[in-house]
Amino acid sequence: MDMSRILATSDVVFKYLFGAKSSTELLRGFVNAVQRHAGMEEFSSLEIVNPIGERDYYSAKPTVIDIKAKSPDGTVINVEVQVRSQAEYGERSLYYWAKSYTEQIIEGDKYHKLMPVVSVSLLNFNLFPDELPFHSTFQLMEKTKPEVCLTDDCVMHYLELRKLPQNEGSELAEWLYALRHLDEQEGPMMVLLKKNHNLQELADRYYRFENDSEARMIYEARMKEMRDQAAWLDEAQTKGLAQGIEQGIEQGIVQGIQQGIVQGIAHKAREVAMKLRDKGLPFAEILDLTGVDLSLE
């Protein structure tokens, strides 16, 4: 990877592009492209529930990187970008969908107050088998009669960037191509920018980020943090494996080796989790990275 590139699919850059109040129409354009591609209803307008302001962005070095919006009828839209591969991302995204759904009411409220929640996950890794296309949409369907839906309240879109075919000509594909190539100012990107005013606005915001020294510092710090986390996890797994094999050899039995490996990896994962906590990472992100839930302690 060219470390000099500023990746628009980095969480902090994505938040800068789509998470400000001034980005509302840009976000609506992107979400509607997702909805249209799935044959679903578009949104006439959106309101960003957790908009970023420059002061907050620079001071907080944003740790909340998802974008939440609402439509006039109360539908909740969550948009998140995820760069690192996570085997349990499906469960994680379902958990956050459920959280957004259930937090709409309190004890004693009527269930009719619950409004649909639309989740959009932009992934820079493959989550599903190759036979599924780059855009997958999940709802609650009856197994033998998928045309029967339990409720329209659950919609979960997954956009797998690495599956994007070169000959895909849809508007959504153009959005995803642009997000991967915003640092290019010639060739196919220039054609797309002239064709789509939303993508031109996206590029303009990206160029502002490039020229914003404080924002770039946040980006570089975030990338360093992610590289450090990856290095810690790799070290923990390597040391844990070695420690486990050593313990197993000492016990002299295969079961001991297997048990020792598990114990060694768990021990090192906890050490990494404690380091991440000391650096101020949220418990939920620590759990995603290490499998260790420090919130229970």
Per DSSP, what are the bridge partners of residue 121? 80, 158
Q: If pLDDT is split at 50, 70 and 90, which confidence band does 222 have?
A: confident
| 210 Rama sector, left if φ>0, alpha if ψ -120 to 50, beta otherwise | alpha
Return the closest-CA partner of residue 50 out of 87, 85, 83, 24. Answer: 24
What's the average model confidence in pLDDT over 116-127? 96
Of all residues in the chain, what percent are helix, strand and coil, respectively (each to 5)? 55, 15, 30
Q: What is the pLDDT of residue 54?
A: 57
For residue 113, what are the CA distances in angstroms to 39, 96, 124, 141, 285? 26, 19, 35, 22, 30
Q: What is the pLDDT of residue 166?
A: 84
Return the closest-CA partner of residue 121 out of 174, 175, 80. Answer: 80
Q: What is the pLDDT of residue 122?
A: 96
β-strand 149-160 against 117-123: which pairing, if any?
parallel
Q: What is the pTM of this model?
A: 0.76
Which run of H or E residues covers position 56? helix 54-60
CA distance 123 to 159: 6
What's the average model confidence in pLDDT over 3-24? 87
What is residue 64's three-state secondary structure?
coil
Contact predicate 265/282, CB 8 Å = no
Q: What is the pLDDT of residue 62?
A: 53
